[in-house]
Amino acid sequence: MNIHLCTKIKTPSLILNIIMVGALFTINIANANKSDLEQINNHNGLTAEFIDSIKNLGFDSIENGELLALKEYGVTVPYINKIRDLGFTNIELGELIAFKEYDINASYIEEVQKTGLIDMGAGELIGFAAHDIDAKYVDKIRKLGFSNINAGEVIAFKAHGVNQKYIAEIQALGFDSISLGEMIAFDEHNIDTIKVNEVYQLGFTDINAGEMLAFSILDINQTFVNKMESLGFTEINKNEILRLRQYNIDQAAIDNIKHYGLYNRQASTVIALAILKLDESLIRDVKALDINNYSMDKLLESRTGKRYSLSRDVEMYEELSNVVSTIYSLEL
């Protein structure tokens, strides 16, 4: 399951400035003749020499608003060359303008680069500057026990304001191997001691951070567990309870499986049939297979429209294979 982090990243004020200035500039140009256009350019310092100097750096497609912002923020050819020399060879004009607004200079870049963070592009560096993140802050995060971190996680961590007390609380619950990204997601989904204990009381105590997030996101609670028990699933593991919720297993789904004579009271079988989308077309698709030489991944893709790779989920792969074999053997 993919966990998406919603971060409260600051929006640079320069964006609004560029839009407003660029819009005014465009309006002026639309109503200007050739002579007036030259006067507009000269009034804003956009001389032919300045424009050519930017274009000569490889920026061919330049908006008028960008040219104005470059001039307004003092983005010069030497500054651009210096930034490129520091590793940002593909930096865009908008990013250069943001660099200037946030006073991102060679000293700051070199300091941040020494942290050894991966995926440190121009956008991430702007995020660092916008949230006042420096090398000391990165070191502080690592000292909290998060060694394998990337730039995006550091920005999200600062934006969410996850505090040390909360981190200690979560780690004390047994999630001592939790990643920084997972900790941010825990904070975003308001997972605390109470929520964790509620999951433990359901009988699922051996769970990792990713699984705890899934329990929270899918809202696995006592009511849902009771509902599954009423359907006959009294002994189910953590993966099964999550998938029963994910695939919306209810009485109607059970009745459909019974209709085809495939119900065996096993949660894993019900889940496999839900993944394959049991109906008449599934029966036809399976019957048309070369049962001794077919690709489960391709069958799943044809049934769901999504690409699957079950190499890491051996149990589910085996259950799907068993279900396909059972369907293939059905006498219609």
Residue 146 inside a domain? The answer is no
- State the pLDDT at residue 279: 96
The rounded distance, in Å, linking the Cα atoms of 322 and 21 is: 65
The one-character DSSP state at 206 is S
Same domain membership, residue 249 and residue 201:
no
- Note the maximum CA span of the chain: 86
Nearest CA to 210 among 245, 246, 183? Answer: 183
Residue 148 inside a domain? The answer is no
The rounded distance, in Å, linking the Cα atoms of 176 and 209 is: 9
Task: Name every residue whose Cβ is closer than 8 Å to that of residue 197 and which is 6 or more positions away in sequence.
Answer: none
User: Using one digit for the tens of pLDDT, what is the confidence trace for 246-275?
Assistant: 999 999 999 999 999 999 999 999 999 999
* Domain end call among 217, 250, 281: 217
Q: What residue numbers bound the domain in which 68 lies?
A: 13-130
- State the pLDDT at residue 39: 52
- State the pLDDT at residue 38: 56
Mean pLDDT, all residues of the chain: 86
User: Using one digit for the tens of pLDDT, what is the confidence trace for 6-38?
Assistant: 444 444 454 445 444 444 444 343 443 445 445
Q: At what angle do helices 122-130 and 93-101 cross, to 10 degrees?
A: 20
HSE value, Cβ hemisphere, 13 Å, CA-based, for 110: 5
Number of domains in the chain: 3
Contact between 65 and 25 (Cβ < 8 Å): yes
Same domain membership, residue 276 and residue 212:
no
**Percent of residues, the chain, with pLDDT higher than 90:** 70
User: Which of the four pLDDT bands, split at 50, 70 and 90, describes residue 47?
Assistant: confident
Same domain membership, residue 236 and residue 203:
no
- State the pLDDT at residue 264: 93
The rounded distance, in Å, linking the Cα atoms of 279 and 256 is: 8
User: Using one digit for the tens of pLDDT, what is the confidence trace for 180-238?
Assistant: 999 999 999 999 999 999 999 999 999 999 999 999 999 999 999 999 999 999 889 99
Same domain membership, residue 23 and residue 124:
yes
Residue 90 inside a domain? The answer is yes
The rounded distance, in Å, linking the Cα atoms of 48 and 156 is: 42
- State the pLDDT at residue 34: 44
Contact between 302 and 288 (Cβ < 8 Å): no
The pTM (predicted TM-score) of the whole model is 0.77
Nearest CA to 4 among 212, 184, 211, 209? Answer: 184
The rounded distance, in Å, linking the Cα atoms of 285 and 265 is: 24
HSE value, Cβ hemisphere, 13 Å, CA-based, for 20: 5
Q: What one-character-per-residue DSSP string does 23-36 give?
A: HHHHHHHHT--HHH
Same domain membership, residue 123 and residue 18:
yes
Q: What does the block give as tokens for 1? A: 């399951």
The rounded distance, in Å, linking the Cα atoms of 206 and 134 is: 37
- State the pLDDT at residue 42: 58
Same domain membership, residue 28 and residue 126:
yes
- Mean local confidence (pLDDT), 36-48: 61
Same domain membership, residue 210 and residue 101:
no
* Domain end call among 130, 152, 180: 130
Nearest CA to 157 among 176, 177, 178, 173? Answer: 178
Residue 223 inside a domain? The answer is no
**Percent of residues, the chain, with pLDDT higher than 70:** 86
Same domain membership, residue 58 and residue 29:
yes
Partners of residue 118 on adjacent β-strands: 150
Same domain membership, residue 17 and residue 108:
yes
* Domain end call among 130, 154, 178: 130
Q: Which amino acid is at 268?
A: S
Same domain membership, residue 126 and residue 36:
yes
Residue 196 inside a domain? The answer is yes
- State the pLDDT at residue 19: 42
Residue 36 inside a domain? The answer is yes
The rounded distance, in Å, linking the Cα atoms of 240 and 212 is: 14
Residue 225 inside a domain? The answer is no
User: Using one digit for the tens of pLDDT, what is the confidence trace for 132-188?
Assistant: 999 999 999 999 999 899 999 999 999 999 999 999 999 999 998 999 999 999 999
- State the pLDDT at residue 289: 95
Same domain membership, residue 319 and residue 274:
yes
Residue 211 inside a domain? The answer is yes
User: Using one digit for the tens of pLDDT, what is the confidence trace for 51-107?
Assistant: 888 889 998 778 878 888 898 899 999 999 999 999 999 999 999 999 999 999 999
Same domain membership, residue 211 and residue 172:
yes
